[in-house]
Structure formats: C-alpha cells, structure tokens
Chain A
Amino acid sequence: MSNDGKRTAHVSPASAGFTRRAVIRSLAGGSLLMPGILSQLLADDSGQPSAELDPLAPRRPHFEPKAKRVIFLFSTGGVSHVDTFDYKPKLVAADGSTKGAGGPISLVQEPLLKPRWEFKPGGECGVMVSDLFPHIRERMDDICLIHSLTTDHLDHFEATLGIHTGSFSFARPSLGSWTSYGLGTLNQNLPSFVVIAPVLPYAGTQVFSNDFLPAYHQGTRVLPGKEPIPNVRRQSGPGDLQSLELGLAGAFNRNYLRRIGDNSELAARIKTFETAFKMQSEAPEVFDLSKETDETLKLYGFERGQADSFGWQCLVARRLVEHGVRFVEIIDSGSSNNWDAHEDLTTYEPLAKKIDQPVAGLLQDLKRLGMLDDTLVVWTTEFGRTPGRQTANGRGHHPAVFTSWLAGGGVKGGMVYGKSDEIGATVAQDKVHVHDFHATILHLLGLDHERLTYRHAGRDFRLTDVEGNVIQEIIA
C-alpha cells in the first residue's frame, strides 16, 4: 500500500471512531481469501484513520455535500459560445463591422461574424439556446448556464489541461482524481474515476491522470467493446482455475504474514485481489445494457448495439454512477475533427447532433430516477471562439470568455450566471475563472478547495492552486 497515508491528514476519516480495527473488519467482511489473518491484524489497533488502510473507502467530506457524484461532459476543441448557449442579438446586428476580436487566436481585429443559428427560448425559464441543441434547450429548467467563464491560455493543449487540472503548463492531478482522493468511492468493485473516451482530447491521458496523487485515483479509461475496462476478462482457462490460483496465492500470503509478523499493508493487498476478482463479474454487468428498455435507449437517442454512439457513453455513465462510481467523465471528440471550427462552422451540425439528444436524455433519465438531485452534471470545453471571423465562416480560439453549464447536484436550474459583453468578446459581469469553476464543483461535493491538499515535492498542492472562489449564487 501507499506511503500516502501519512499525507492524507487533511481529509478527515469517515468518522472519528472509524478506527483501523473497524476498517480491517470491513475489509475482511465476507472474505473468501483471508480467513485467519484477521486476529493478527486486529491485535495492533493503533487507531489510524481509514485512509491509511484503504484509500478508496468512502470518506466524509468537509461539510454537508449537495452532490455525491459527478458526470463531467467535455466537448473538445473550444465550443463557440456565441453559436450555442450565449445569445448575442447585438452580434447579429453588428455582423461584418470591424470592432471585435477575431483571427486565429483572438488577437487581431477582424469583422464580426453573426451566429449561424437561430436562438429560441427553452423550458419554463425561457433561457435562449441555439438550434444546435434543441433537446438540451428543452432541459433548460434543470440547467445553470455560466456565461462568464474565462481561462488562461489560448491554445488547446494548455487550456484542455487547465480545465481538467487547474494547471496550464505542467501536468497535475485531474479534477476527477482530486474528487476520488477527497471522497473515496462508494463501490470498490469498480474504479472510482472512469473516463469514457473513445478518442483522446488534447493533452492526452494527462487530462484524467492522477499525476502525483496515488494511483488509486487515476481515471480508468473505458473503451466501447468487449472489454471496456482493461483485463477484466478472465484468462485462466476453466472456470474454477483462477479461484484455485487465487486460493493458493492467498494461502502462501497468509503463511508469509505469519512469518514476517504484523503487516497491516497486507490487508489492503489481499483486499485488492478480492476486489479485482469481483470486478471481473461486476464490471461487465455495468456495461451490459440488455436490461435497459428500448424506451430508455431511445431517450438517449441510440439503437441497441450501437456501442460507438455518444448515447452509449451517456447511458453507461448513468449506469456507472448508479453502481457507485464517484466521477465519470465523458469526452465527445478527440484532438482532431472536433469543435475547433477555424474554417467551417457548419461542422458544428453533426457534432451538436451527436451529443444533443444523449445529453438531454441523460438529464431526463437521472431526473426520473431521482438521481439528478445529488448527481452533478457538468458540461464544458477548453475555451470559446472569437466573435470576429477568422476565415469567411470560421472563428478563432477565444479564452477571454466562454460558456459552460452545470445541472443537478444542488445547482439552481433555469438560471444564467454571469454575462459576456454584447458581442461575446469579454466578461461583462461576474467573471468565473477556471479555478472558480473547480472550487464550485468541489464545494458542491462538500469539499473545501482550500483544505483539499496533498503534499508533494515539499509543499501542499491544491486543485485550485492559490486561487478560486465558490460561486455561491448558483447553489440551490
């Protein structure tokens, strides 16, 4: 087990009385593989917090949480805010006039380009959304748009890293890894942090890396297909052969323990093999959609067997959080063929069509299952796009202001927070930096972003560096 146990004092154990003894008991509960070592382990009860023995055990957050789990939707490439969720009638009127940021990376004056799509009011709240997202528009009563997000970098790699890790230069632990570190997980037969990404975005696996946090908290990438989680398929031939092998290894390990004396790390190690054994049956079950009705599949907008669809990603995400996974990230496109419309905004139509109904279906499904109240759904991208044109029908990168949204998990629905200026070029009101966005997500999970720290390379690190303010106004 890890030496990180010493460093986890900043996160309180599940309760003050949750001692090492209790943890060993829970680890050993129903154990097939480790009878006999329990009494030895219990003999030395030093009252250490649970994290030392079991870094993924569910932990009590810093304060009462609104959300227990997160589904984080990421659209790669920099989604144009003015063509999707940020309605700018003045930009329509100003089409062609030269007064706004444009060009490839928003540093030059280029003629303004009006949004390509009509905006219409959605839900009872009447929040305006473009025709790219007719299904999500219907869910606006559950969604809180943030129109005033801003980021620190104008290129994909750094901005993608930033929105995932709070760091724009060096790799750091991902938001999902911090969440796993802070809260543990509710079902150890599955990873705590799962990433459903058929293709990788900019910055690659670094966006869901645990980096300096222990490997328990790394994002496990899931690929549609026969073996979504690596190595869950049994390889040992006949059905009981693997059990025999684990049984023999278990017997050797028990003897070994007797010889070397008390070693509490062994409990975690033995537990790990049990978890892995159970994961072999539980993981395929989560990815088996045969018990989902045709009606549910339709809600997510895909047909049975279409495992390559975004709807599959969304439905599997719901099943994963239902089974106790703490943080699920869904990535819609990779580092090419994405929302990076420098030249042709019409590419947005297939991209939007691909995610619109599945995302709306996910919100609807969570709601009818009563899960939206404590499941936070986040949609974001790395930056916005220039209100001025780059080419005749394209927009450049625009970190100065962009839109993202939150839904469920204790967030007010039917709400808009912050404002961009009248052409969507700068923040006009209530600026939300990426660090504020992260601080708010952690807050909804009951975690104080200033107290969720990890000591590395001689100092404490946070997801939010030395910044970040929680947006209190959007919390229900």
Chain B
Amino acid sequence: MLTLSGGLDESMGGAHPFPDQTTWEFSEHDPFKAVYDTRRRSVYMMTQRFQKHPFLALFDGADTNASTAERLTSTTALQALFLMNDPFVHQQAQGFAGRLLSERADDAGRLNRAYELALGRPSRADEAAEAMAFLQRARASLQGAGISPDQLTAQTWQSFVRALFLTHEFIYVE
C-alpha cells in the first residue's frame, strides 16, 4: 500500500529514534512499550520481545520470543476491519488515488494504471465494466452526501482504490 500511495520512505540506515538515554527511567512497573509509526521498509521496524507491534499482532506476526520456522496465516474479522476502516489504509488509498489522477487523464487510463500498479496486470473487460459502473454509483453516492464537485473525482477514486485493497488478489499471494 505504501508503495502504491508513494508513501514508502526508501531511506536507508540511520539510528532508530529511541528516546535519549539520559531520560530512561524504565522499570518493571513502567516498562519501555514504544510503538514507532514508520513508513520505512519493515526491516527497520523495532521489534520488542515484550510486545508485538499492533499491526503484526493483528496479521500473525512471528513470535518475538523464539525462532519461527513457519508463519501462520489467518483471516480474522479484525483484520478485515483494519482494511475497511483503519486511518492508515484510508491515507494510502488517498495517496494512491491522487497518483492515478495525476498520472492519467481519464477514467479508463486510471483504471488500467491502477491494475498495473496494484495487481501487475491489465484489467479485463468484465472488470473494467464493473469498475466503471461502480465509479458511477460511488460518484452518485458522494454527490448525494453533498461532497463538493472539486472533491468528487478524488473521493470517487479513493473509494475505488479501497475496494481494490479489499480484493483477494491484492491481499493474498496465491
């Protein structure tokens, strides 16, 4: 998602933003429990034995206490809720939709670009038809909700991109 939205921070190396050592007053009663929000590649994520990063806890991250030979994959309602409602996903949808709008001038072009970037293939005719019908319905829904005309196209595409984020072909590697 970060790659699609252009939000991925590709910088390399550097120190992790731990608090200054002179400020440490951690103890058993007040443990170090930071969660760092990061847009860098996951190799730079801090891992604590003490707790899983909330995102990794939600999506079957590896046990932080032992070497993990095999990773589980699960499909839970809370994962679906994350994809549907988490502000992170909505932000990335915004970024991705903005990119499509700036890179292509018309809906057909944007649709193909979305498929190329997100799924690595062109859209098929039936998908294009479904998508176009969706764009109309979403636009009508947003219009009905009183979204201003200058925001309409952007929000319609954000909505489409969110739907694309919910597809199995995007989420799962078969």
Contact = CB atoms under 8 A, between A and B. Distances in A.
Interface string B129-173: 011001001100110110100000001000110111011110010
A237 to B, nearest CB: 6
Contact of B72 (A2, A249, A260): A2
Interface in B6-63: 28-31, 33, 50-52, 57-60, 63
B74 to A, nearest CB: 4
A269 interface: yes
B76 interface: yes
B126 A244 contact: no
Contact of B174 (A202, A204, A260): A260
Contacts of A244: 134, 137-138, 141, 159, 163
A209 B77 contact: no
A26 to B, nearest CB: 16
B166 A273 contact: yes
A31 interface: no
B102 interface: no
B127 interface: yes
Q: How large is the interface on B (under 10, 10 to 19, 20 to 34, 35 or more residues)?
A: 35 or more
Contacts of B145: 237-238, 241
Contact of A241 (B58, B82, B142, B167): B142
A472 to B, nearest CB: 34
Given A233-B85, A241-B138, A336 B29 contact: yes
A252 B77 contact: no
Contact of A212 (B63, B85, B130): B63
A204 B74 contact: no
- Among A156, A204, A252, chain B packs the most CB atoms within 10 A around the CB of A252
A251 B51 contact: no
B86 A206 contact: no
Contacts of A188: 77
Contact of A191 (B78, B86, B142): B78
A240 B144 CA distance: 11
Contact of A457 (B59, B69, B141): B69
Nearest to A260: B174
Given A241-B142, A249-B166, A260-B174, A279 B77 contact: yes
Interface string A280-297: 100000000000000000
A138 interface: no
B166 A230 contact: no
A245 interface: yes
A152 to B, nearest CB: 17
B120 interface: no
B81 A231 contact: yes
B162 to A, nearest CB: 5
Contacts of B33: 200, 204
A418 B126 CA distance: 71
Interface in A239-259: 240-242, 244-249, 251-253, 255-256
Given A4-B72, A244-B159, A251-B130, 20 more contacts: A171-B64, A202-B28, A206-B50, A215-B79, A230-B78, A235-B85, A235-B87, A236-B85, A237-B145, A238-B144, A241-B141, A245-B159, A246-B84, A249-B167, A252-B169, A260-B174, A269-B75, A275-B77, A279-B77, A279-B81
Q: Which 10 A-B pairs give the minimum distances between C-beta atoms?
A: A276-B80, A238-B145, A249-B166, A275-B77, A231-B85, A245-B163, A231-B81, A248-B163, A215-B74, A336-B29
29 contacts: A4-B72, A205-B51, A206-B50, A209-B52, A214-B74, A215-B60, A215-B72, A215-B76, A216-B74, A231-B78, A231-B82, A235-B85, A235-B86, A238-B144, A244-B138, A246-B163, A248-B160, A249-B163, A252-B163, A256-B169, A272-B75, A272-B77, A272-B80, A273-B166, A275-B80, A335-B28, A335-B31, A336-B29, A457-B69
Interface of A: 1-4, 55, 155-157, 170-171, 188-189, 191, 200, 202-206, 209, 211-212, 214-216, 218, 220, 229-238, 240-242, 244-249, 251-253, 255-256, 260, 265-266, 268-269, 272-273, 275-277, 279-280, 335-336, 340, 457
